[in-house]
């Protein structure tokens, strides 16, 4: 029996460099993500993970090389048309949300490409979708609370609901597990695992430092070190003790049970 045809690429990077002054933030990056893939992006502090997400969320241009997003080439497309098709969560974006903003408005206003509610009249379809997403991410009880009063874990889930609001074709999550306690992390991993399994979910790229945060159902991994790709491909092949040791510059041993990974220093 022949295998099914691969789905459409949602992002394609060829020979991408990002240079600032004398420093290469990214060097020679080749990477393809297809619509039905869920990627984890692993690498130490300063590896270039956030820089890579800036590129693939159409917030930065490469110094050299080609970036194609959702069938368009960066540099030859209006980024303001592209950005609503890409959901992004990051610490930097979270800081732009006013603490006094009503949490329900933080979610629903995403469809209007503004942070916070201004004077729009949201239509009933948007309000219904926002309510559904808030339920799905376990934050429906906070709709009337100011965003600034939520815990870190609750805020992370609100941001993901917000990022999903415009029904993006690509979802980019920059360290959504940072700052969460054990229960919060496990809750997030389970919800991301559910999302990974939905047939009509967007392609996903999750940035993390911790293999414990890889949700079951994720399919691919990219290992990044000092701006260069150490390895990229199917999760089983790429997430190994050898690959992680090389990426993090430390001998590591790796265990896998029930679809979850744990890593520790090799003895």
Ligand X SMILES: Nc1ncnc2c1ncn2[C@@H]1O[C@H](COP(=O)(O)OP(=O)(O)OP(=O)(O)O)[C@@H](O)[C@H]1O
Which residues bind to Mg ion, rule: CB under 5 A? 49-50
243 in contact with ligand X (CB under 6 A): no
DSSP 123: -
Q: Considering the complex, state which of residue 48 and residue 202 has its C-beta at the smaller distance from ligand X.
A: 48
Select the span of 6-14, 18-26, 126-134, 210-218 touching ligand X (CB under 6 A).
Answer: 18-26
Among 49, 157, 162, 185, binds ligand X (CB under 6 A): 49
Q: Which two tokens stand for residue 37?
A: 């893939």
Select the span of 39-47, 81-89, 152-160, 240-248 touching ligand X (CB under 6 A).
Answer: 39-47
DSSP 215: P
DSSP 12: E
Q: How far is the C-alpha of 94 from the C-alpha of 197, rounded, in Å? A: 26
Q: How far is the C-alpha of 75 from the C-alpha of 53, rounded, in Å? A: 16
Q: For the chain, what is the total number of helices (H) and then of strands (E)? A: 9, 12
Q: Considering the complex, state which of residue 85 and residue 209 has its C-beta at the smaller distance from ligand X.
A: 209
Q: Which residue is nearest to Mg ion (CB)?
A: 50
Q: Considering the complex, state which of residue 49 and residue 185 has its C-beta at the smaller distance from Mg ion.
A: 49
| Closest CB 24 distance from ligand X, rounded Å | 9
Which are the contacts of 211, defined by CB distance < 8 A and separation ≥ 6? 42, 239, 244, 254, 261, 262, 263
- 106 contact, one of ligand X, Mg ion, none, CB 5-8 Å limit per kind: none
**Residue numbers at the binding site for ligand X (CB under 6 A):** 20, 23, 25, 43, 45-51
């Amino acid at each position: 029996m022949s295998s099914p045809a691969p789905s459409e690429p949602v992002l394609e990077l060829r020979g991408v460099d990002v240079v600032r002054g004398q420093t290469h933030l990214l060097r020679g990056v080749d990477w393809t993500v297809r619509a039905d893939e869920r990627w984890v992006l692993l690498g130490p502090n300063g590896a270039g993970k956030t820089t890579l997400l800036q590129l693939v969320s159409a917030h930065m241009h490469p110094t050299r090389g080609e970036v194609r997003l959702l069938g368009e080439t960066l540099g030859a497309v209006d980024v303001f048309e592209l950005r609503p098709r890409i959901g992004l969560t990051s610490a930097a974006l979270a800081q732009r949300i006013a603490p006094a903003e009503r949490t329900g408005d933080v979610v629903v206003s995403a469809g209007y490409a503004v942070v916070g509610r201004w004077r729009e009249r949201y239509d009933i379809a948007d309000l219904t979708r926002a309510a559904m997403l808030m339920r799905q991410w376990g934050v429906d009880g906070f709709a009337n609370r100011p965003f600034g009063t939520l815990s870190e874990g609750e805020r992370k889930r609100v941001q993901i609901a917000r990022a999903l609001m415009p029904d993006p074709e690509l979802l980019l999550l920059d360290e959504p597990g940072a700052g969460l306690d054990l229960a919060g992390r496990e809750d997030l991993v389970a919800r991301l695992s559910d999302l990974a399994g939905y047939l009509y979910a967007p392609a996903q790229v999750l940035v993390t430092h911790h293999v414990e945060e890889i949700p079951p159902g994720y399919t691919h991994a990219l290992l990044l070190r000092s701006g260069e790709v150490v390895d990229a491909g199917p999760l089983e092949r790429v997430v190994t003790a050898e690959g992680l040791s090389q990426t993090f510059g430390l001998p590591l041993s790796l265990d896998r049970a029930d679809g979850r990974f744990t890593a520790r220093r090799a003895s």
